[in-house]
Amino acid sequence: MTRPRRPHRLIHRIPGQTYLWLAMLIFGASSAVTRKLTEIGAQHFIGNRNPISLCNVLFVGNLCALILLILIYGRQWNKATLKQLSRKDWVSLTVVAILSGALAPGLIFQALALTGVNNVILVGRLEPPLSLALSVWLLKERVNIWEFIGAIAAFIGVILTIILQPPGETMMNMGGFGLGIGELLAAVGSVVIAVSTIIGKKHLSQIPLGIYSIFRTALGTVIFFLIALVLYGRDHFADVLSPFLWQWMFLYGGLIVVVGQSFWIKGLKTSNVSTASLIGSFGPIVGILAAYLILGEAPNLPQYIGGSLILVGIFLSQVGTWLQTSKRVASDKVNSTTTQQQVESSMGFKGT
């Protein structure tokens, strides 16, 4: 009679790709879930305030992410490792933390308040081609023809998604055509992430992943909190301890942040770069499907046109990525800060 396998042994036998796919499904749905939570909060005002405001979701979600990262990477924060970091390293870490940990998420969450989830997802695809262009220009990196054509196709797709949008209340006139404020904020957020990625590639290649992740999340949360206080006043986070908010944040923080991040980190540890990048590229597709299933938000004609070009660009870029990684060792793992930034850029917004 054979003994039943223990649960923990079965978990260790799960392929890294499975964890990445599960994480990608969770992250892809994050924008739709965030919008749905704010709609639920709008039906349960406390005074004249929405307890599940976007700022509260981002702030509490970051705290959940920080706790998880400390549990996973806390051992890297030791004297021996920290002494190896120079003042220049800390300056670079601080700049990246402010850009990608505070400004970019804040802009994307504000965009979610002003425009459709599909627009935020598609306009967010501006970041990969922009990062590629800046890498070639500033870091003198070489790209193959597939990546170049893919970046051009994705960039054109984003521009069409922005300028072909039907007139709306949150639009401003720019040179004879309407430009949505939400789409503009999403585009600026993508630019900020691209700049952060370039700084990371140039200055953070030797920084341990755990130190980067914890410092970015911690400082980004503090900076975001301070900016929100300055812009919106002391009462903006008045409901951050509301039981109603935390009831729903256990879902958001527990599922999207804790479970999603855990699966993502677990998958990255045992997967190669090309596999992780390929799986991450399905994020926009999952996001659009989630927006339809959760919010009933079907793509409009401009989104179909722009999204089609973006998907073509993603496919061509993945061909280029596969060609590049096939020339290196097939088991090249995602084990550095810069490589993780590169992989995550293909996925888009991850909820925090």
Domain total of the chain = 1
Cα separation, 127 vs 194, in Å, equals 5
Identify the weakest region by mean pLDDT among 31-40, 179-188, 280-289, 320-329: 320-329
pLDDT at position 325: 62
State which residues form the domain around 123: 16-345
Q: Which residue has the tokens 């965030």?
A: 34
8 assigned to some structural domain: no
2 assigned to some structural domain: no
pLDDT at position 330: 47
pLDDT at position 104: 92
State the chain's mean pLDDT as an integer. 84
Query: Model confidence at 328, in pLDDT bands (50, 70, 90)?
Result: low
Residue 329 pLDDT > 80: no
Q: What is the pLDDT of residues 293-308, one digit of tens each?
A: 999 999 999 999 999 9
296 assigned to some structural domain: yes
270 assigned to some structural domain: yes
Question: Is the Cβ–Cβ distance between 124 and 189 less than 8 Å?
Answer: yes
Give the count of beta carbons closer than 10 Å to the beta carbon of residue 86. Answer: 10
351 assigned to some structural domain: no
Cα separation, 119 vs 192, in Å, equals 18
Query: Model confidence at 250, in pLDDT bands (50, 70, 90)?
Result: confident
Region label for 161, one of left (φ > 0), alpha (ψ between -120 and 50) or beta (otherwise):
alpha
Q: Which residue has the tokens 């193959």?
A: 144
What sections of the chain are H helices per DSSP?
7-12, 16-28, 30-42, 54-73, 79-83, 87-98, 104-114, 117-123, 127-138, 145-163, 181-203, 209-232, 243-251, 260-269, 273-280, 283-295, 301-326, 337-345
How many alpha carbons fall within 13 Å on the CB side of residue 170?
14
283 assigned to some structural domain: yes
Query: Model confidence at 87, in pLDDT bands (50, 70, 90)?
Result: very high
pLDDT at position 204: 84
105 assigned to some structural domain: yes
Residue/partner pairs of 160-163 with CB below 8 Å, 24 or more apart: 160/302, 160/305, 160/306, 160/309, 161/119, 161/122, 161/123, 161/302, 161/303, 161/305, 161/306, 161/307, 161/310, 162/123, 162/187, 162/306
21 or 337: whose pLDDT is higher?
Answer: 21
pLDDT at position 10: 47
Q: What is the pLDDT of residues 43-72, one digit of tens each?
A: 999 888 899 998 899 898 888 888 888 988
5 assigned to some structural domain: no
164 or 177: whose pLDDT is higher?
Answer: 164
Give the count of beta carbons closer than 10 Å to the beta carbon of residue 326. Answer: 10
Q: Which residue has the tokens 């770069």?
A: 273
Cα separation, 21 vs 13, in Å, equals 16
